[in-house]
Structure 1
Amino acid sequence: MKKFLIALLFAPVMALASSGHVQLDKWPGSVGDKAALQNGAKLFVNYCLNCHGASYMRYKNLMDLGLTESQVKDNLMFTSDKIGGLMTIAARSDEQKLWFGATPPDLTIVARARGEAGNAAAGADWLYTYLRSFYRDPNRPTGWNNVIFENVGMPHILYGLQGQQVRNHETHKLELAVPGQLAPAEFDKAVSDLVGFMVWMGEPQQEFRRTLGFFVLAFLAVLFVVAYALKKEYWKDIH
């Protein structure tokens, strides 16, 4: 029963794609880079929040990235008028299924869901590769396809930034046919920031958890030394 419930939880997200045997690129970002996470949040609400929700997050949580309440309200709140509101979308799931053929999954825990056994790092690699692997395909209804998600239903929402890639059917590599607003290196950085934000959403307290873990291990190491010295002192007369 427990495994069944977990499968139900992750099923909408796992429906995003299957990476097959494509080699994934390593995500170069870090959830400790607050400036990158802020830029990722901006990209997320401008490009992703139109169709995908992050319904387990509240706008006020974005203040944990170092933003003020006024910055969140003025620049990032497009689907709610309350700072405590959830990052949901206006479209209903039944409407989206009618429009797109499937309901776009919620992205709050997408990085963890895409990684094996909830490994957010592996999920980040998948997302980083996926978002940079769209190419023009006139045979698809949206005009787009993806190397690691064949026959994807999602259009390339970032094409204005990246430009238009085509797939060389001889080398099976992607080539930039029409440049976008950003140079390739700049686009890769933007995608890295966006992926970083999605990784952060899956566990906003992960940096605190890791820091706390180091302190706990250090405390246990000191406690072990004290306990060992106490043991020697207590048993010295007996031995």
Structure 2
Amino acid sequence: MREIKILAILIIVIGTIYWGVEPLAHSVMHPKVAPADFNFEDLKAIDLSKADVQKGKELTMNNCAGCHGIKNAGMEAPMDAESAASSFGVVPLDLSSAGAIFDEKYLANFIADPVKAAILEHKFKVSCEGLDDANAKECEKSNEGKADYPMSAFKGVLSESEIADIVAYLKSIASKDLSDKEVFMNACQRCHSMKYDGVMAATPDENLKNYLGTKAPDLSMMIRSKGENYLDIFINNPQKELVGTPMPRVGVTQAAQKQIIQYIEQVGDSSKNERNALGIKIMIFFVVLSVLAYAWKRKIWKDLH
């Protein structure tokens, strides 16, 4: 009976620490933030119902092909990676899969005003196009001392319908059925490496350091250091978890983000499923062992109780 009492005390103490103290400490160190928003509620909606794909192709060739490659359309990047990194600070994205990986609302808003869509107003100049005099002056004042974003804002250059045409075209040529690794390489590899899988960032560290103010981390073990929930929120909106970070909001769809995290997990924690299955077996083993040990103890010491 004494052993049962000791066990009950241990359960109460451990339970208090596990369900009380530990969550409290975690909430202080990692305050709760809003979950990932894949509706991009802060961005303007886009209507693709009347979009003209052919016109979108012409607009893409005239406005985007000067910096971006589109391999699906037979167009290589106009500059090699080294030259592009030196010129822009980061290698421009090949647009072949952009229409599949990135949310269409985000894509349209990014074309119109990339700094605002990527939530990088704290680091780069925002577009003051279309504002009245008072707001334009305030906007220009807020831009003082900030760097120019490598991609131009097309707000005021292209109409909303023309931007919709470009998005519709990119969706029409987008690669389908991309693997988890391919989604990662399209969405993240311009800045991040995955050394454990032999994937190296397209942009050299020194260029990224000048562009972002810091080197982009290798993501091989990020799933273990941060966890799936953190990455889910961070990729969707980095400012929620790390205010002031130069990491942009990537704007990928929920499905694409799931693939990115799956790939990071495959590389950084490939034995997770095996480990979880083994953990359950070990717990069952200890339960059985405890029952047998107690039964053995009762048998051996029964004459003394």
TM range (shorter): 0.3 to 0.5
Question: TM (normalized to structure 1)?
Answer: 0.46
> TM-score, normalized by length of structure 2?
0.37
Q: Whose strand fraction is larger, Structure 1's or Structure 2's?
A: 1
Structure number with higher helix proportion = 2
Q: Which structure has the bigger radius of gyration?
A: 2
